């Protein structure tokens, strides 16, 4: 009898550990960012996660497009108690495009969050490059959404891109692209026909860590007032429905209930205005600071800003 109980206990333990890691297995895509007092920079980032026993392994891609990317292997684990996912890239960059770029070998501390069918990995990263740390004075953040179809699809695709690069090096050097893109209370209006966001691609446009337990958000149209109309969702819950952006503020607050968890702020374009796409300016007031974020959405993608509460 004791032996049966022991076997059952072992089976339960191993299946529980496997299920924690299993939800991470798959493809993740989003942004890896750097924030300083001078501005904000972000790279596209994709992660392919596989599981071998208790170990997580896979590949990361930092890229401006599918012809210019850095590919690393990584390994790591998920802490069963804290749910923190620790991953670490290792070795040399497998592919370095363009070859003039010095890559960062990165470490990640991530937390898994789920809002309805949307799954996120969010947190911080650090890195080393040759013999020095990467961006030691910057705030380094990452936000990734779980996706079905990766940008970097298979081994054949990667080999084709790499071969194209080495055959056309001169073209790549003359069209060099910098990986860092510098970006410089209303009552709830409910419409029974729209209670959840439409199925569109999620475009993470900025990542912020916040110390305050409540933040204030204000939205305006961007530059020329052209009739842009949006709906706003926080963690897939409606806050504003079909509201027109103008020079008059749309204002609301967001509370942060749990330390370390991600908050998804999603802007859905209800039209494209007179001048497509749908654009706006978001003012975030928190930690005695004022952040200005330019957001852009259309009928194919939502604008998403990810906040993490770290008091």
Secondary-structure class of domain 19-174 per CATH: mainly beta
| Residues sharing a CB contact under 8 Å with residue 165, sequence separation 6 or more, in sequence order | 67, 97, 98, 172
Instruction: Tell me how far apart the alpha carbons of residues 221 and 10 are, in angstroms, rounded to a whole number.
Output: 58
Locate CATH 2.40.128.30 in the chain. 19-174
Predicted confidence at residue 136, as pLDDT, reads: 79
Predicted confidence at residue 130, as pLDDT, reads: 66
Predicted confidence at residue 175, as pLDDT, reads: 44
Predicted confidence at residue 163, as pLDDT, reads: 67
Instruction: Tell me how far apart the alpha carbons of residues 250 and 12 are, in angstroms, rounded to a whole number.
Output: 50
pLDDT along the chain (311 residues), means of 10: 38 47 89 76 90 90 82 90 90 68 86 90 88 78 93 72 64 43 34 70 92 92 88 92 92 86 92 92 93 94 92 76
Predicted confidence at residue 7, as pLDDT, reads: 35
Q: Which two tokens stand for residue 21?
A: 């890691």
Instruction: Tell me how far apart the alpha carbons of residues 234 and 42 are, in angstroms, rounded to a whole number.
Output: 22
Closest C-alpha among 104, 95, 107, 108 to residue 128: 104
| Residues sharing a CB contact under 8 Å with residue 134, sequence separation 6 or more, in sequence order | 104, 106, 126, 127, 128, 140
């Amino acid at each position: 009898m004791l032996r049966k109980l022991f076997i059952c206990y072992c089976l339960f333990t191993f299946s529980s550990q496997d299920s924690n890691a299993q939800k991470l297995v798959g493809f993740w895509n989003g942004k890896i960012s750097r924030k300083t007092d001078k501005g904000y920079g972000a790279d596209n980032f994709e992660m392919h996660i596989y599981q071998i026993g208790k170990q997580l392994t896979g590949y990361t891609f930092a890229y401006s497009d599918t012809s210019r990317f850095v590919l690393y292997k990584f390994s790591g684990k998920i802490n069963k108690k804290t749910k923190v996912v620790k991953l670490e890239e290792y070795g040399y960059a497998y592919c370095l495009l363009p070859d003039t770029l010095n890559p960062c070998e990165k470490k990640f501390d991530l937390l898994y969050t789920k809002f309805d069918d949307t799954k996120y990995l969010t947190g911080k990263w650090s890195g080393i490059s040759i013999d020095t740390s990467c961006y030691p004075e910057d705030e380094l953040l990452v936000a990734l959404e779980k996706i079905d179809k990766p940008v970097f699809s298979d081994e054949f695709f990667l080999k084709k891109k790499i071969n194209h690069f080495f055959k056309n090096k001169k073209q790549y050097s003359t069209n060099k692209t910098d990986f860092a893109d510098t970006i410089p209370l209303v009552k709830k209006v409910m419409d029974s026909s729209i209670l959840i966001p439409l199925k569109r691609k999620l475009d993470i446009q900025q990542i912020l860590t916040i110390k305050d337990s409540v933040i204030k958000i204000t939205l305006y149209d961007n530059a020329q007032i052209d009739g842009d109309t949006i709906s706003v969702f926080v963690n897939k819950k409606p806050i504003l429905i079909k509201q027109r952006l103008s020079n008059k503020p749309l204002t609301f607050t967001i509370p942060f209930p749990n330390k370390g968890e991600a908050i998804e702020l999603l802007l859905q374009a209800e039209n494209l205005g007179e001048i497509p796409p749908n654009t706006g300016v978001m003012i975030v007031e928190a930690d005695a600071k004022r952040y200005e974020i330019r957001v852009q959405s259309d009928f194919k993608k939502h604008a998403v800003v990810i906040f993490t509460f770290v008091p």
